[in-house]
Amino acid sequence: MIDSLGMVAAARALPEQLLAAADAASGAALPSADGISSVVFMGMGGSGIAGDVVAAVASPACPVPIVVNKHYECPAFVGPDTLVIAISFSGNTEETLAAARHAVGAGARLVAISAGGHLERLAHEWGATALGLDSSIPMPRAGIGAVTATPLVVLEQLGLFDGARAQVESAAAQLRRRRSELDSDLTPVTSVARRIGRTLPIIYGGGALGEAVAWRWKGQFNENPKVAAFANRIPELTHNEVCGWAQHGDVTRQVFTLVKLRHDYEHPQVARRFELVAELCDEVVGDVVEVRAKGDGPLAQIFDLIHVGDLVTLQMASNESVDPGPVPVLDEIKLRLASTDS
């Protein structure tokens, strides 16, 4: 397998990464928790997914709304009573930097999470909290454990999400169990990779938890084996997207594979809608693949699915002799934007 950056090793080390990040964030000096009325996550790509995961897990118990912002702009409601958690693994993500500047200008309480770069430097200049990430992690998307555990611990320490550390520990325990299982038998990974083959995956997740994981899988298909992929969530897609399966089945059968990501925290009607969607799509996609989460607790099940998805996409990269680490197209976009700005 071609793996110049060590992406497989990073995926295998995910449980240890989760725990190390939680330990590092514990006891950090944080902004005052008094009067916080909202939480806003800012981040893009692999760092932005962390906001989706935290919002999905913490929102049902958090006493204030959690919003995930993936834009240059900052929401107008952000102000002195807003906790802003800006995440950029590199510290140089321009959208996150721009939105964080707006937030600080509006008086928000900022927690910056990065492995260095401009975000860390600016956080120090602004007198904000700067929490570090392990810079030895080979790529931002390989740091999903660190960029998720860190803000979870922050929320717990501010009294906004009780039990975060316990959920992180449960997730790490499940990842270790899954790693052990796959060390003995990799078939659950190789089978999914084989069934998708050279078709384009369409990933469906249920509810907020499933949606977050579906977007993670999509991004990993894009960046590891470098293939197009699409994601959506149930129930929303049963109010629009399923209509699109009514035409051109002779074409879609040759192009798409439907991947259903299932977990134990689905609303009963979401589970029923999954069944109906599978029935409706059975004859218009090449295959329907289901991956079911294991683990004790929402975060454990999210990370179990994340880990399987990471390994499936790495296996697909190996099958096609693609180096999963480098992302030259993304690098080219950054270079062209930089040359335009200069």
Q: Domain residue spans in the chain?
A: 7-171, 186-319
The answer to whether the CB of 89 falls within 8 A of the CB of 145 is: no
Write the CB contacts of 260 (distance below 8 Å, at least 6 apart in sequence). Answer: 204, 274, 277, 278, 288, 289, 290, 291
Q: Does 186-319 match 7-171 at the fold level?
A: yes
The one-letter amino acid code at 70 reads: K
The residue annotated as part of the active site, out of 70, 241, 294, 334, is 334
Q: Model pTM?
A: 0.97
Q: Nearest to residue 12, comparing CAs of 322, 317, 307?
A: 307
The residue annotated as part of the active site, out of 223, 260, 263, 307, is 223
The one-letter amino acid code at 154 reads: V
Residue with tokens 């990073």: 10
Is 334 designated active site? yes
Query: Which two tokens mark 234?
Result: 């149930």
The answer to whether the CB of 96 falls within 8 A of the CB of 87 is: yes
Report the distance separating Cα 278 and Cα 282, nearest Å. Answer: 6
The answer to whether the CB of 241 falls within 8 A of the CB of 331 is: no
- pLDDT attached to residue 246: 85
pLDDT along the chain (342 residues), means of 10: 97 98 96 98 97 98 98 97 98 97 98 98 98 97 98 98 98 98 97 98 98 98 98 98 91 96 98 95 95 98 98 98 97 91 60
The one-letter amino acid code at 85 reads: I
The one-letter amino acid code at 268 reads: P
Is 181 designated active site? no
- pLDDT attached to residue 192: 98
Domain covering 7-171 assigned CATH 3.10.20.440 in the classification: no
The answer to whether the CB of 147 falls within 8 A of the CB of 46 is: yes
- pLDDT attached to residue 339: 86
Is 332 designated active site? no
- pLDDT attached to residue 290: 97
- pLDDT attached to residue 217: 98
Report the distance separating Cα 5 and Cα 326, nearest Å. Answer: 8
Segments in the chain forming alpha helices (H): 7-12, 14-25, 45-58, 94-105, 117-126, 144-157, 164-184, 187-196, 207-223, 249-255, 268-281, 298-319, 328-341
Top-level class of domain 186-319: alpha beta
Residue with tokens 């931002």: 140
Q: Nearest to residue 142, comparing CAs of 18, 291, 317?
A: 18
